[in-house]
Amino acid sequence: MGQTKLIPLPEYARRTGIPLSTLRLYIREGRLRAMRLGRYWYIPVEDEGDGGGRGRVFTLFTHAGGAGKTSLARDLGFELASRGYRVLLVDADPQANLSAWLGVDLSEVEDRETLLAVVEGKGLPEPRRLEVGGVTLGLVPANMNLAMAEVLIPAKSLGMVLLRTALMESEALERYDFVLIDSPPSLGPIAGMAALAGEGLLVPVETSAKGVQALRAWWR
């Protein structure tokens, strides 16, 4: 069965060909079901439920520390989920800030729930389901033991594509519309594996000389 998604009003106007002004009139007259979130209107529509393979995978990536990777993963994930998208957050950082900020008690995260399972060839672990601020998020949490992956990945053949392979072989891309991977502040094996798992990188850049320098270091 399909899920209900919230479509921004201008997008709904584009899809239906109905002018925005007419849609606003319909909403005022109660002829069109709509929801207001902040300043914007959204139309709840049943997802076509055509299933599979549409999940988009993005990796929050920059070797600069404290640039905003984890904050952006958390906030973007929350915003997408609050608009009705099914979101999986993958904590690929042994610092486990993302897991902690989403309320996970790191002392009870087991290694088999983390990307260590992927590195050990066991496939993508079953994500936790978190209820955060009224929305549901999937999370593959991390703990400090994930740091072992820095030595395990180079020892594996095709180690750098293990996460990409695990995502493709799991049902994640059918079950989620967006997969956001939070990578650690390095250019090491875990960060590389996280980067190669995504179809694109999201690179937060601090508005400072240091931030721009970090961007230039790998973007030539």
Nearer to ligand ATP, 93 or 177 (CB): 93
**How far apart are alpha carbons 90 and 102 in whole angstroms?**
12
Minimum separation from the CB atom of position 154 to ligand ATP (A): 21
Nearer to ligand ATP, 84 or 99 (CB): 99
Q: Is 158 helix (H, G, I), strand (E, B) or coil?
A: coil
Residues 107-146 that bind ligand ATP (CB under 6 A): none
Q: Using the rule CB under 5 A, which residue among 59, 62, 70, 114 binds Mg ion?
A: 70
85-110 as b/e: b if 16+ CB within 10 A: bbbbbbbbbbbbbbbbebebeeeebe
From the list Mg ion, ligand ATP, none, partner contacted by residue 143 (C-beta under 5 to 8 A by kind): none
- Which helix H or strand E contains 89, and what residues bound it? strand 87-91
In 3D, which of 115, 136, 125 has the Cα closest to residue 197?
A: 115
- If binding is defined by CB under 6 A, does position 68 make contact with ligand ATP? yes
Minimum separation from the CB atom of position 92 to ligand ATP (A): 10
- If binding is defined by CB under 6 A, does position 67 make contact with ligand ATP? yes
R_g (Cα) of the chain, nearest Å: 19
Minimum separation from the CB atom of position 48 to ligand ATP (A): 34
Minimum separation from the CB atom of position 62 to ligand ATP (A): 7
Q: Is 99 helix (H, G, I), strand (E, B) or coil?
A: helix
- If binding is defined by CB under 6 A, does position 79 make contact with ligand ATP? no
Q: Return the range that interacts with ligand ATP (CB under 6 A); candidates 32-40, 68-76, 149-157, 192-200.
A: 68-76
- If binding is defined by CB under 6 A, does position 59 make contact with ligand ATP? no
- If binding is defined by CB under 5 A, does position 69 make contact with Mg ion? yes
Q: Is 179 helix (H, G, I), strand (E, B) or coil?
A: strand
Q: Are strands 135-140 and 40-46 parallel, antiparallel or unpaired?
A: unpaired
**How far apart are alpha carbons 21 and 175 in whole angstroms?**
35
Minimum separation from the CB atom of position 132 to ligand ATP (A): 16
Minimum separation from the CB atom of position 68 to ligand ATP (A): 4
In 3D, which of 63, 103, 110, 90 has the Cα closest to residue 205?
A: 63
Residues making contact with ligand ATP (CB under 6 A) = 65-71, 93, 95, 97, 185
Residues in touch with Mg ion (CB under 5 A): 69-70, 97
